[in-house]
């Protein structure tokens, strides 16, 4: 039986019948914290009741929180505790990789899981990766953990997030080959070093695109993420890179564009894989 039906069964008599259809049909679990998005039509007291029933149903969950939104270029989540142990820090395990995370202040999208797996699959042992928007190592830690000899240079601007990135490098025994760098990637990205550059952020500017090209050593891939309205031009960032070829003396050899996930009813999350030769 799916979670919505199981919850509906448990909530019978606890919430008014006219709200039953608004019970969430899914939620994400990070470590042992369940994160639920609710319809605005559900009053808070019923959200708490639903959360408590969810705790009873899910053995692996110790805390239930509501995710209301994600704000700012740092994509900080807005969350509220609803039921269970009052904690926001947990350790999440995925693809043999441990992530310690504060879910109230740092974003870790379960919807990007396939993208994390895809990177593990396409990367080859021994590569050097520059992760320009590292967060807590969301994209680059699993890749480094699941390959021999990968070196990573990971730049993160937010000091609090950077603290977790450092912890996670240690947790995963990657201190020898994963270098965290605190600061703005416009100033801190190493040059002429990478086989692959990760740009897992939507508000990338033109300078950052140039810096990504400079990070490539001879030939390599740039994985450039974008969030667009369905009606918008999918190639808008790629077009800029194409124009830049003449100015900066590099060539784009191949471009593959994929949909990472449906972000909302009107928006999609894309990733362009761009092979660049300098």
143 binds ligand SAM (CB under 6 A): no
81 binds ligand SAM (CB under 6 A): no
Among 67, 97, 109, 172, binds ligand SAM (CB under 6 A): 109
CB-nearest residue to ligand SAM: 200
Contacts by 273-276, CB closer than 8 A, 24 or more apart = 273/221, 273/222, 273/223, 274/221, 274/222, 274/223, 274/224, 274/238, 274/241, 275/219, 275/220, 275/221, 276/213, 276/216, 276/219, 276/220, 276/221, 276/222, 276/250, 276/251, 276/252
Q: Could you identify the residue written with the tokens 């999609």?
A: 268
66 binds ligand SAM (CB under 6 A): no
184 binds ligand SAM (CB under 6 A): yes
SS3 state at 186:
helix
145 binds ligand SAM (CB under 6 A): no
Sequence-distant (≥ 6) Cβ neighbours of residue 11 within 8 angstroms: 20, 23, 49, 50, 53
CB of 47 to ligand SAM, least distance (A): 26
158 binds ligand SAM (CB under 6 A): yes
Among 48, 75, 177, 278, binds ligand SAM (CB under 6 A): 75
Q: Computed from CA positions of residues 124, 127, 132, 134, in that sequence, does the dihedral angle turn out positive or negative?
A: positive
**Bridge partners (DSSP) listed for residue 181:** 155
**Bridge partners (DSSP) listed for residue 86:** none
Q: How far apart are the first and last CA of the chain?
A: 54
78 binds ligand SAM (CB under 6 A): no
Query: Which region, judged by CB under 6 A, interacts with ligand SAM, from 3-11, 39-47, 106-114, 119-127?
Result: 106-114
Nearer to ligand SAM, 23 or 79 (CB): 79
Among 164, 201, 221, 250, binds ligand SAM (CB under 6 A): 201
d(CA 217, CA 81): 46
Query: Which region, judged by CB under 6 A, interacts with ligand SAM, from 94-102, 131-139, 168-176, 214-222?
Result: 131-139
d(CA 162, CA 169): 11
Dihedral (Cα; 247, 251, 254, 258), 10-degree rounding:
-30
Among 34, 155, 222, 274, binds ligand SAM (CB under 6 A): 155
Among 66, 100, 156, 195, binds ligand SAM (CB under 6 A): 156
Query: Which region, judged by CB under 6 A, interacts with ligand SAM, from 38-46, 61-69, 105-113, 228-236?
Result: 105-113
* Binding interface with ligand SAM (CB under 6 A): 73-75, 107, 109, 112, 133, 135, 138-139, 155-158, 161, 184-186, 200-201
């Amino acid at each position: 039986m799916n979670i919505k039906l199981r919850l509906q069964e448990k909530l019978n008599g606890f919430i008014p019948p006219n709200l039953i259809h608004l019970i969430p049909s899914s939620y994400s679990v990070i470590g042992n914290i369940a994160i639920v998005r609710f319809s605005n039509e559900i009053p808070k007291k019923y959200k708490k009741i639903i959360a408590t029933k969810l705790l009873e149903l899910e053995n692996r969950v110790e805390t239930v929180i509501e995710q209301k939104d994600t704000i700012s270029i740092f994509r900080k989540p807005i969350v509220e505790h609803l039921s269970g142990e009052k904690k926001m820090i947990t350790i999440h395990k995925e693809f043999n990789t441990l992530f310690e995370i504060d879910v109230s202040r740092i974003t870790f999208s379960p919807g990007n899981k396939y993208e994390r797996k895809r990177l593990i699959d396409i990367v080859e042992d021994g590569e050097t990766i520059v992760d320009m928007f590292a967060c807590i190592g969301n994209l680059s830690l699993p890749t480094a953990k699941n390959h021999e000899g990968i070196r990573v240079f990971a730049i993160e601007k937010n000091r609090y997030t950077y603290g977790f990135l450092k912890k996670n490098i240690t947790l995963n025994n990657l201190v020898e080959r994963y270098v965290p760098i605190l600061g703005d990637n416009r100033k801190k990205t190493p040059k002429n070093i990478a086989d692959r550059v990760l740009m897992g952020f939507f508000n990338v500017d033109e300078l950052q695109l140039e810096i990504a090209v400079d990070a490539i050593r001879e030939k390599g891939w740039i994985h450039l993420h974008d969030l667009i309205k369905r009606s918008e031009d999918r190639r808008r960032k790629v077009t800029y890179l194409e124009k830049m070829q003449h100015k900066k003396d590099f060539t784009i050899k191949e471009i593959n564009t994929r949909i990472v996930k449906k972000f909302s009813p009107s928006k999609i999350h894309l990733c362009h894989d761009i092979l660049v030769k300098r």
